[in-house]
Structure 1
Amino acid sequence: MSVTQFTEQELKALEEKTTIPRFLFLPVGLVAIWCLAVYWPTDAISWQIFLTLFISYCLFCWTSCFHECSHHTLSGSKNASIWLGRILGTAMFVPYTVYRESHIRHHAYLNKPSDWELWPYSDPNTSLRFRRVFIWFDLILGVFMAPFIYGRIFWHKDSPLTDPKLRRTIRYEYAGIVVTWGLIIGLCIHFDAIWGLLRVWVLPHYLAGIYQNTRKFTEHLGMSSYDPMLGTRTVVGNNIITKLCTYFNFDIFVHGPHHRHPKIAHNLLLQKMDDYKEQNPDVKYPVFTTYWAAIIDMAPSFFKQPGVGMNAGAPAPAKEKKQIDNFVGDVSKEVLAETDLSSRKD
């Protein structure tokens, strides 16, 4: 498995940032799961519905933590990112290394045919009819579609993952998922607790999959540019709800700067966005002050033409400056061809 290499300045920023308060969703979510499991303090249907929705959002935050782990930017410790990522990946049925390798290429080849993470929306060989049908499965069955889409980078005959050690690591992670969930399901069957598993884990996890894929669509669908600052939607909240959601999701909503600088500490993304806007006042970045506004902007693409890059009207991309198998400091300067840059390079 590749290990992200940080400059001294990048590593210092990771070590100095305060991450612990953002982890509230983890213990609070576990407490909520316990309350739902034992019907505490009441079995009233309204309370059960509230807990289910609350847990589902906590699990959605877990996916953002999983994402942060894949970048090795959760803290100054790479091992902490790797092992927490493997635990979360096992819970979500997505091997950590599969997700990381797919996500590395998602940053390097945003909206291009080689962007495995945005398949089929990035693949010009998929028909519009197929994408119009597939997107509903992707939205409604996100909990099942995510393992399928991410797994393609390992199982596909044209997989770029050819290193035997890397593929062995992924096989071990798949085996870990099968064994772990086999034991959990077996124990639930033995103790007649399958209904409890469905109620306290499967249903909230299912809902979290819908939230997660809605986020994916909102940040990417309909974006044609290969430039990370213009090929993604960025949300910089102007109200307390959006700001809180951004905070507990490790600032992933500030998506343009994150895509251009995948090794930057998440708490610096807002400042990075402000810097780009100040340096390039003539560039109209796709920045929204609420997530709802970004969803509205995305909606026509969802229904009419679900696609990115070439499937959203862009010409074929130029050849990159170099092939990528790890995160870089600045995608625009280190990877993207000059002809694919749409914004200034400050």
Structure 2
Amino acid sequence: MEATTQAPAPAPAENPLFEPHEPHWVSRAAFPIMVGLLALNLGALFAALYHNNYWLVVPLALTASHLMHGNLIGFHEASHGMLRKSRFLNDLDGVFIGFLSFMSFTLYRAAHQTHHAHLGLQRDEELWPFNDPQSPRWFRRLMAFTELFFGLFHTPAMFLRTFWRKNSPIRSKKVRRRIWMELFGIVAFHAALLTTAALTGGWKYWLWMYFIPGFIAGNLQSWRKYVEHVGLTGSTIRSATRSIIADTWTGKFMSFTLLHEPFHGVHHQRAGLPHAELPIYQRDLYPTNDEELEPFRSYSHAIGHLITCLYDPKVGAQWRGVQGAKTAVATR
């Protein structure tokens, strides 16, 4: 059947409260600030471990996990080529963050293109199996459980499935060769890390400064991804994406530490924008029809909406039998 092209919805009415303005330099510097805060946090965590002060170790590990989550979003920014002005430094940061999170940067960048080109639809590799109406509910529940609670391992495995499966969308021999090099690099990096911990007896430092906060950060990443899309079966970006416009200073600070990722609908509408400029276009997040969602006021409100969808996790208009849903989603 020939897919139909869905006309974009009209742009929302202008709101004088949301006039575009130049982002503050602090907003543009969010990633280096987050890296600096993480370095300070890990330094304090090292000192607390050295003195066996676990009253400090535990809260410092928790704050480190949030900052690591922010760095994972930096990995996403790098995949769009927008983390650094220098392409070399941008990719270097992406590869390094990928090594730490068991992810091939090149693999993520290639697969992530399907997420933007086919948001929530069956060709969206990042939202499998929730975008497949043939996938049984028990399997989708199992995948949701492993991703939400073992995200550090589930997410790399999901992308490896994209790379290794039959009819993979990643066909370029040059790209596949680079992915293999990065995968071997990841294995070598972690072998060296574990060997160092074993030879020096530094297991507690590896556990508390890397594995525990990294494990939590992987789960935070998964929960944020689910907040953004899981349970939504709309045919436009605003009906297929949950976005958050915080109305408190704590919420706005949270958005800053997550590189403005809560403005996620804007990112899908304007994928070429640096993260600091996403809040400028927050007016684009407001619905233009009854199918679309209002932005949420906080992550707690958005998570509440997500929880009601986890009994039967699904994504995409194809679940509603929308004509042409296998091919494209309306950009507005």
Say yes or no: TM over 0.5.
yes
Distance 1:222 1:312 in 2: 11
Aligned to 2:297: 289
Give deviations 1:193-248, integer Å, cap 9, x for gaps. 22321122101101111111110111111111232222100101111111111112
Aligned to 2:132: 123
Deviation (angstroms), 1:283: 7.6
Q: Give the % identical residues.
A: 26
Q: Which structure 2 residues correspond to residues 131-210 of structure 1 after superposition, within 5 A?
A: 131-210=140-219
Give deviations 1:276-321, integer Å, cap 9, x for gaps. 649x48885331111111111111111x11110157545364464x
Give deviations 1:47-76, integer Å, cap 9, x for gaps. 111111011111111111111111111233
CA contact (8 A) 2:45 2:209 kept: yes
Give the direction of change, closer, same or farther, for the CA distance of 1:129–1:251 in structure 2 (3 Å limit).
Answer: same
Worse overlay, 205-214 or 38-47? 38-47
Give the direction of change, closer, same or farther, for the CA distance of 1:311–1:144 in structure 2 (3 Å limit).
Answer: farther
Q: What SS class does the counterpart of residue 234 from structure 1 fall into?
A: coil
What is the aligned counterpart of 1:309 among 308, 313, 316? 316
Aligned to 1:255: 264
Deviation (angstroms), 1:271: 2.4
Aligned to 1:48: 57
TM-score, length of structure 2 as denominator length: 0.86
Number of positions where the alignment pairs a residue of Structure 1 with one of Structure 2? 310
CA contact (8 A) 2:239 2:291 kept: no
Q: Which amino acid in the other structure matches residue 315 of structure 1? A: V
Give the direction of change, closer, same or farther, for the CA distance of 1:236–1:172 in structure 2 (3 Å limit).
Answer: same
Distance 1:21 1:53 in 2: 20
CA contact (8 A) 1:86 1:95 kept: yes
Distance 1:220 1:282 in 2: 18
Are residue 300 (structure 1) and residue 313 (structure 2) matched? no
Distance 2:30 2:276 in 1: 12
Distance 2:73 2:117 in 1: 19
CA contact (8 A) 2:152 2:218 kept: yes
Higher RCO (Cα < 8 Å, 6 or more apart): 2
Distance 1:120 1:281 in 2: 28
Aligned to 2:7: none
Aligned to 1:104: 113
What is the aligned counterpart of 2:103 among 87, 94, 98? 94
Where does the alignment leave 5 or more consecutive residues of structure 2 unmatched? Answer: 1-21
Q: Which amino acid in the other structure matches residue 271 of structure 1? A: I
Give the direction of change, closer, same or farther, for the CA distance of 1:138–1:319 in structure 2 (3 Å limit).
Answer: closer
Q: Which amino acid in the other structure matches residue 43 of structure 2? A: W
Q: What SS class does the counterpart of residue 93 from structure 1 fall into?
A: coil
Give the direction of change, closer, same or farther, for the CA distance of 1:17–1:108 in structure 2 (3 Å limit).
Answer: farther
Distance 2:88 2:256 in 1: 23
Give the direction of change, closer, same or farther, for the CA distance of 1:37–1:152 in structure 2 (3 Å limit).
Answer: same
Q: Which amino acid in the other structure matches residue 293 of structure 2? A: Y
Q: Which structure 2 residues correspond to residues 28-39 of structure 1 after superposition, within 5 A?
A: 28-39=37-48
Taking only aligned residues, the RMSD between alpha carbons, in angstroms, comes to 2.4
Give the direction of change, closer, same or farther, for the CA distance of 1:89–1:314 in structure 2 (3 Å limit).
Answer: farther
CA contact (8 A) 1:153 1:160 kept: yes
Where does the alignment leave 5 or more consecutive residues of structure 1 unmatched? Answer: 1-12, 321-335
Deviation (angstroms), 1:274: 1.1
Aligned to 1:3: none
Distance 1:18 1:246 in 2: 10
CA contact (8 A) 1:228 1:259 kept: yes
Deviation (angstroms), 1:42: 5.2
